[in-house]
């Protein structure tokens, strides 16, 4: 029985120096890879590499001189027996020299073919198949893998001298060798995942344009077969120069700005986003935009496991929509939404995006989920957050994982940290869950005291097992039709059935759910409105307000309710405050405290024991935002207010009877208050000037009105005036 391999996280490959020679006539590769490896877990005595057994290992050495044994474990796996036990933090250099005739796997991991009469050798390793042409550290077939172990790269390709070899990074030089051979030496300082290392060797026509950025210019290089070298094809691929500018404005600067971006023709269909150098078998603009988008989402930040491949392909597919939105120099929302409709997953919309079974390559790269539905996940997140917050979330995600790899949960944690949006529910329903929501809406109009309200019921009718916990939580925008013209409202729906009360400028004659198609939903429908719970629509004093000591509290409801004094609680600095409950016009009640309120903080609780007069539907009271409620019956409405200490000498803001501020307190005691009091004293205004029975502060009647105006009142006011306002 073969012992299990060490964990992928036990080592960190820092650099690979890959040097190969391809022999087109025999479909053979001869070469070596020297890996600089850092040990992360102490006690390491072996190092597992991947190399198919059609290759013979000619030699294996540690640190340039110490031979080591390499054991063949299975068709694709070799185990290097290290010369000693290594501790965490140590490093070693492992060189593997190998040769053999290739055997291609996957999508055509290494192909020897021809074009235009010239040999053509191209690689495409995704997801597992780098081992079919070079010795490397990689996850085993059907395992989730770990693409976070990235490394810098030197890559030399030797081939017949009438061929050009292209690869990742910057061309360091071309060496002329004996036997009519040339060696192309490429180098990249940007960390790269194993599956993104690639080369292609054939007769190419090469062209370069410059992309201008804040720090200077970067070459954009295209390599075409001579038979494909037409002005239209060159122009199609050089659209990447404009695309780089569009993506920069949304995603940040091109992540490999110090090297290049290249597109080369290869024998596979579609495209493959090899880091800094994309292979394409087409000149289609959408594919070109998609593969460039991968340089951010796939290459700069890579899916950590193949279960998380949606992060790569969804991000690149959404990049197609971003390009179409902005390519004409303005924000063209019609093109954005048209592109998203073209990416609608149709029958695949109900499938799970997260790839549980990574042994099935077709499941990993299922177009309907990994590409289309995943692109809608990015789109819906943007719709939920808004443009700028979405961009901020991407920037935070990029900064957290640039040059490394992320899982689905990493993506969620980054966005939640950056934006505060509840990503667990969002990813639970759209990535880990199945299906899409099916919304059914009904509405009616009501008017209370001249204010129009839309009463809206929204129901999710999709199968109970879809979404997260059987439901989808999404912000939903509605377009409303009414006499005053169209308007928009936005609600957050997170239950299978919810009711909303929404102030509107006029009665609604029609509504459209998600008019701009931000949500991947299924056939929304309408139905007759079913009455929802009553809600609070008005409160005086308002939450957070300051009230007078003689204030009353008024609560108004959307409809007639059954309410008693026991359904309300008023508490203040000294505890419960006794009050009398009475009715107010148009579905209202008034709480009148039995005594003036002392200064301090107060809380009024309107309990959900209150029910509608018709149907006994319980109050939907969560607040203090008005109208109250969370869409479901139940929940108390709670507001807080403050009573400030009064200033008895503050009677007026002006001493001029013709001034509107005459008799209106202004928060200070000054001459205006003194002269206003004199006017009321002379006029015999008991309401203002009858202040006390006695002018002696030690008299129990000091400060008690006696129904007459005399000298005691005058001297009492003087005491108040001298004391001033706090």
For the stretch 376-422, pLDDT in tens is 999 999 999 999 999 999 999 999 999 999 999 999 999 999 999 99
pLDDT at 666 exceeding the cut of 80: no
Sorted by sequence, the CB contacts under 8 Å of residue 428 that are 6+ apart come out as 467, 468, 469
For the stretch 140-167, pLDDT in tens is 999 999 999 999 999 999 999 999 999 9
- Exposed/middle/buried for residue 605 (C-beta within 10 Å: 0-12, 13-18, 19+): middle
**How many angstroms separate the CA atoms of 638 and 623, rounded?**
6
What is the helix (H) or strand (E) element at residue 711, kind and residue range? helix 711-723
**How many angstroms separate the CA atoms of 252 and 692, rounded?**
74
So what's the pLDDT on residue 209?
A: 98
The pairing of strands 69-74 and 77-86 is antiparallel
So what's the pLDDT on residue 556?
A: 98
For the stretch 481-540, pLDDT in tens is 999 889 999 999 999 999 999 999 999 999 999 999 999 998 999 999 999 999 999 999
pLDDT at 62 exceeding the cut of 60: yes
pLDDT at 667 exceeding the cut of 70: no
pLDDT at 646 exceeding the cut of 90: no
pLDDT at 579 exceeding the cut of 80: yes
Say whether the peptide bond before residue 627 is cis (omega within 30 degrees of 0).
Answer: yes
Name which of 50-54, 132-136, 529-533, 692-696 the model is least confident about: 692-696
Please state which architecture CATH assigns to domain 439-526: Sandwich (2.60)
Are 182 and 161 spatial neighbours (Cβ–Cβ below 8 Å)?
Answer: yes
Question: What's the Rg (C-alpha) of the chain?
Answer: 37
Q: Which residue has the higher pLDDT, 719 or 725?
A: 719
For the stretch 66-91, pLDDT in tens is 999 999 999 999 999 999 999 999 99
For 656, which DSSP code?
A: -
> Which fold would CATH assign to domain 8-203?
Immunoglobulin-like (2.60.40)
So what's the pLDDT on residue 108?
A: 95
> Which fold would CATH assign to domain 536-643?
Immunoglobulin-like (2.60.40)
Are 573 and 544 spatial neighbours (Cβ–Cβ below 8 Å)?
Answer: no
Using 50, 70 and 90 to split pLDDT, how confident is the model at 663? confident
Are 424 and 411 spatial neighbours (Cβ–Cβ below 8 Å)?
Answer: no
Using 50, 70 and 90 to split pLDDT, how confident is the model at 726? low
So what's the pLDDT on residue 652?
A: 86
Residues recorded for the chain: 726
Kindly state the average pLDDT of the residues 600-620. Answer: 97
**Bridge partners for 99 per DSSP:** 30, 56
The pairing of strands 579-584 and 118-123 is unpaired
- Start-to-end C-alpha separation, the chain: 87
For the stretch 440-486, pLDDT in tens is 999 999 999 999 999 999 999 999 999 999 999 999 999 999 998 89
So what's the pLDDT on residue 661?
A: 84
Determine the 3-state secondary structure of 515 from DSSP: coil
| Percent of the chain residues topping a pLDDT of 70 | 99
pLDDT at 645 exceeding the cut of 80: no
Please give the structure tokens belonging to residue 502. Answer: 């929404």
Kindly state the average pLDDT of the residues 673-690. Answer: 90
What are the structural domain ranges in the chain? Answer: 8-203, 204-295, 439-526, 536-643, 647-726
So what's the pLDDT on residue 21?
A: 98
pLDDT at 196 exceeding the cut of 90: yes
The CATH number of 204-295 is 3.30.2010.30
Alpha-carbon distance values, 44 to 92, 148, 483, 515 (Å): 11, 20, 76, 59
Using 50, 70 and 90 to split pLDDT, how confident is the model at 719? confident
Are 271 and 279 spatial neighbours (Cβ–Cβ below 8 Å)?
Answer: yes
CA angle, 343 then 345 then 346, to 5°: 125
So what's the pLDDT on residue 651?
A: 85
Q: Do domains 204-295 and 439-526 have the same CATH topology?
A: no
So what's the pLDDT on residue 2?
A: 60
For the stretch 343-378, pLDDT in tens is 999 999 999 999 999 999 999 999 999 999 999 999
């Amino acid at each position: 029985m073969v012992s299990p391999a060490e964990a992928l996280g036990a080592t960190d490959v820092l650099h690979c120096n890959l040097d190969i020679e391809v022999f087109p006539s025999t479909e053979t590769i001869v070469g070596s890879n020297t890996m600089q490896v850092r040990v992360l877990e102490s006690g390491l005595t072996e190092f597992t590499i991947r190399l198919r057994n059609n290759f013979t290992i000619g030699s294996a050495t540690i640190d340039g001189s110490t031979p080591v044994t390499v054991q063949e474990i299975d068709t694709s796996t070799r185990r290097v027996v290290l010369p000693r036990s290594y501790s965490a933090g140590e490093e070693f250099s492992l060189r593997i020299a190998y040769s053999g005739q290739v055997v291609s796997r996957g999508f055509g991991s290494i192909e020897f073919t021809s074009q235009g009469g010239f040999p053509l050798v191209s690689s495409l390793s995704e997801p597992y198949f780098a081992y079919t042409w070079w010795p490397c550290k990689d996850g085993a077939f059907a395992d989730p893998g770990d693409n976070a172990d990235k490394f810098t790269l030197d890559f030399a390709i030797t081939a017949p001298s009438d061929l050009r070899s292209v690869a990742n990074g910057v061309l360091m030089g071309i060496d002329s060798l004996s036997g009519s051979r040339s060696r192309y030496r490429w180098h990249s300082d940007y960390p790269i995942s194993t599956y993104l290392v690639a080369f292609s060797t054939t007769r190419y026509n090469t062209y370069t344009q410059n992309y201008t950025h804040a720090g200077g210019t970067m070459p954009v290089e295209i390599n075409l077969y001579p038979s494909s070298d037409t002005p239209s094809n060159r122009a199609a691929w050089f659209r990447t120069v404009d695309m780089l500018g569009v993506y920069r404005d949304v995603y940040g600067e091109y992540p490999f700005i110090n090297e290049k971006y290249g597109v080369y023709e290869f024998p596979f269909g579609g495209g493959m986003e090899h880091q800094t150098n994309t292979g394409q078998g087409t000149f289609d603009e959408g594919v070109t935009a998609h593969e460039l988008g991968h340089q951010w989402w796939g290459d700069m930040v890579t899916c950590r496991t193949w279960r998380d491949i949606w992060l790569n392909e969804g991000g690149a597919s959404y990049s197609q929509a971003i390009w179409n939105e902005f390519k004409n120099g303005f924000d063209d929302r019609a093109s954005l939404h048209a592109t998203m409709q073209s990416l609608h997953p149709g029958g695949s919309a109900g499938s799970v995006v997260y790839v549980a079974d990574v042994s099935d390559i077709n499941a990993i790269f299922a177009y309907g989920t990994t590409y289309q539905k995943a692109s809608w996940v990015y789109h819906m997140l943007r719709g939920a957050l808004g443009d700028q917050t979405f961009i901020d979330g991407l920037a935070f995600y990029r900064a957290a994982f640039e040059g490394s790899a992320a899982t689905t949960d990493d993506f969620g944690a980054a966005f939640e940290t950056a934006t505060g949006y509840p990503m667990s529910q969002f990813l639970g329903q759209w990535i880990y869950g199945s299906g899409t929501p099916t919304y059914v809406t009904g509405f009616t109009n009501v008017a209370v005291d001249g204010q129009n309200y839309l009463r809206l019921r929204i129901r999710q009718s999709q199968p109970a097992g879809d979404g997260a916990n059987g439901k989808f939580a999404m912000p939903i925008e509605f377009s409303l039709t009414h006499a005053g013209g169209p308007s928009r409202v936005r609600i957050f729906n997170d239950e299978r059935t919810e009711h909303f009360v929404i102030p509107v400028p006029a009665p609604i004659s029609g509504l459209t759910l998600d008019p701009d198609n931000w949500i991947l939903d299924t056939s929304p429908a309408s139905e007759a409105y079913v009455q929802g719970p009553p809600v609070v629509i008005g409160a005086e004093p308002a939450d957070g307000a300051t009230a007078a000591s003689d204030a009353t509290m008024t609560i108004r409801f959307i409809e007639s309710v059954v309410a008693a004094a026991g359904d309300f609680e008023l508490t203040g600095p000294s505890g419960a405050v006794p009050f009398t409950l009475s009715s107010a016009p148009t579905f209202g009640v008034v709480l009148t405290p039995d005594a003036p309120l002392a200064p301090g903080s107060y809380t009024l609780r309107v309990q959900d024991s209150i029910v509608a007069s018709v149907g006994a539907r319980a109050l939907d009271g969560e607040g203090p935002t008005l109208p109250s409620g969370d869409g479901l019956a139940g929940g108390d409405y709670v507001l807080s207010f403050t009573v400030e200490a009064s200033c008895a000498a503050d009677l007026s803001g002006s001493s001029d009877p013709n001034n509107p501020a005459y008799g209106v307190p202004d928060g200070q005691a000054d001459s205006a208050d003194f002269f206003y009091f004199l006017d009321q004293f002379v006029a015999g205004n008991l309401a203002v000037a009858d202040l006390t029975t006695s002018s002696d502060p030690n008299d129990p009647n000091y400060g008690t009105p006696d129904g007459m105006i005399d000298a005691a009142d005058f001297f009492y006011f003087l005491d108040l005036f001298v004391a001033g306002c706090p």
